[in-house]
Structure 1
Amino acid sequence: MRRTMLFLPGNQPRMLMNGGLLGADSIIFDLEDAVAPDEKDAARHLVRNALKTLSFGTCEIIVRINALDTPFWEEDLREMLPLRPAVIMPTKVSGAGYIHTLEEKMTAIETAAGMEAGCTRIIPLLETAAGIENSFEIAGASRRMAALYLGAEDLTADLHCKRTKEGGEIAYARGRMVMAARAAGIEAYDTPFTDVEDMEGLRADALYAKSLGYTGKAVISPRHVDCVNEVFSPTAREIHDAQEVLRAIEQGKAQGKGAVSLHGKMIDAPIVERAKNVLKAAEDLGVLIHE
């Protein structure tokens, strides 16, 4: 599961060293926005050495590379892919053609390194109006596609509007992107909440994203990890209710019933599917207790 994806600036050695100890499910080594143009080479070397020499435990490794309209992205791939990160995160993705260009280069580098072609997944960062409008096309552009990720800071700049805590200005983008991801059969991850001090605001923002269907959320501060992990984890009550639903279904089948009710409410296919999703998440997190 990717409840949390924590950004780590590629030019900050101390944060890179502690990445596996901060509680995030995935850590994103950032070679793009967090790194000034004259520090790109140094950051790339720091991240390369970190991946070669350090253990990050069970954390999934993601590398955010520079955009394809910069002179940095190809070297990012050449340095990073042979170190076998689980995911490459391309930025400013605007359409399927962007993904096709990226995938062609990834396949060439993997093949030259003796790796299985296609073994590295892609989570594109959608942070422009074009990217949001083309989100379904992007979601289906490659078999490598693991998820879509929303980037609100650059998106609001592209929209010529102010980024707010309330998030009304990105409501359409959030809905459009999660719909595209689900229609394509992949996951969707929400944009970071950028006020490091406002924990109540963070929780409300994460709960809202979860209510829309997002699987998890990116974070820019280790302080946000525990809260977001909690929001995107099934609660004990949710697990109990899901188990009740599946027991009721099994009992109904055993009794030859065509329709089953629980606590006075009919159980239909969507309710069963949601219950299975809750229990799968609990199992993945190791918190499933069989009643």
Structure 2
Amino acid sequence: MSTAPAQNLRPRRSVLYLPGSNARALEKARTVAADALILDLEDAVAPDAKDTARQQIADAVGAKSFGRREVVVRINGLATPWGEADLAAIAAAGPDAILIPKVETGGDILAAGHRLEALDTTRSIALWAMMETPAAIFNAESIARARREPHGSRFAALVMGTNDLAKETRARLVPGRAPMLTALSLCVLAARSHGLDILDGVFTAIKDHEGLRRECIEGRDLGMDGKTLIHPDQIAIANEAFAPAADEVALARQIIAAFAAPEAKGKGVLTVEGRMVERLHAEIATRIVAIADAIAARAA
């Protein structure tokens, strides 16, 4: 889901990682039902395959053959031997967004934004940030606040790197994710404070569909917009969990209609289906309906 105006919302229920070095996976990505794709040049690509993967991804992105799926490329960090070349090649190819790994300060976003401005003069490419270190969690609000700065205006989303965060903190990824809830919640608060979307981390037990469903629901209830995934078999579960339910959409339409009725003019509180609703509920309802409509349009 998106922070854009309601009429321009972009669902981000399912966001599938794909290794840039795997040409077959890139080809298959053109048919999957994910809302977005993250074509990866960082963790999923060995050092000796970085150059080949960069070219493969640049060619795939430049071909504009992924349909309505949002296309994001995770580059290597700008301080690595590959980062600057990644940024230049991928910016020229024109994805929807570039995902910066290992972000730890707002300055990291501003530096990436400054470099990207020289490469993307149309300002069509957004920036996303991986939140995967203890420093990133401590600095979550200042990282998100970078969106308010001139060089950070293209900043659009936080992506939780829960596996890296678990490695760095020695926390265990147990059912319910109690050791991770503080970090996840702090990042949700930071994202919402500054108009960013936020995506939950991956679930690595590919065959545990019930475990994935539980974790998607946990993320949704925390306020996440969607979930990053590592296998196409996980897409349908994420799409279902992060989509508004039919009864939720029906109630939202009723709330919108109730506040739009002539007799509601000037009223701040109404009763709909036996519930007291305020104008803030009408705003929530408008977003729910917009997301539902965007999902329906994508399915069509």
Same fold (TM > 0.5): yes
- Which structure 2 residue ranges, 5 or more long, are not aligned? 1-10, 147-151
- Matching of residue 197 in structure 1 with residue 202 in structure 2: no
Q: Is residue 252–residue 259 contact of structure 1 (8 Å, CA) maintained in 2?
A: no
> Partners in 1 of 2:61 and 2:288 — Cα distance?
33
> Partners in 2 of 1:13 and 1:287 — Cα distance?
29
What secondary structure does 1:147 align onto? strand
The equivalent residue for 2:179 is 169
> How far does residue 287 in structure 1 lie from its aligned partner after superposition?
6.4
Q: 2:134 aligns with which of 122, 129, 150?
A: 129
> Partners in 1 of 2:124 and 2:265 — Cα distance?
47
Matches within 5 A, 1:144-155: 144-155=154-165
> How far does residue 151 in structure 1 lie from its aligned partner after superposition?
0.6
> How far does residue 177 in structure 1 lie from its aligned partner after superposition?
0.4
Q: Is residue 5–residue 27 contact of structure 1 (8 Å, CA) maintained in 2?
A: yes
Q: Residues 237-284 of structure 1, C-alpha deviation per residue, up to 9 Å, x if partnerless?
A: 111111122222234735765531123321113322221111111121
Q: Residues 214-253 of structure 1, C-alpha deviation per residue, up to 9 Å, x if partnerless?
A: 1111111100001101111112111111112222223473
The equivalent residue for 1:143 is 153
| CA RMSD between the two structures | 1.8
> Partners in 2 of 1:150 and 1:96 — Cα distance?
16
Q: Is residue 252–residue 258 contact of structure 1 (8 Å, CA) maintained in 2?
A: no
- Matching of residue 76 in structure 1 with residue 81 in structure 2: no
Distance 1:54 1:254, change over 3 A: closer
Matches within 5 A, 1:153-232: 153-232=163-242
> Partners in 1 of 2:296 and 2:186 — Cα distance?
32
Q: Is residue 28–residue 61 contact of structure 1 (8 Å, CA) maintained in 2?
A: yes
TM-score using structure 1 length: 0.92
The equivalent residue for 1:285 is 295
- Matching of residue 50 in structure 1 with residue 53 in structure 2: no
> Partners in 2 of 1:257 and 1:88 — Cα distance?
44
TM-score using structure 2 length: 0.89
Larger RCO, structures 1/2 (Cα 8 Å, 6+ apart): 2
> Partners in 2 of 1:256 and 1:104 — Cα distance?
46
Distance 1:90 1:254, change over 3 A: closer
Bigger shift: residues 164-173 or 218-227: 164-173
- Which structure 1 residue ranges, 5 or more long, are not aligned? none
The count of residues paired between Structure 1 and Structure 2 equals 283
> Partners in 2 of 1:65 and 1:165 — Cα distance?
31
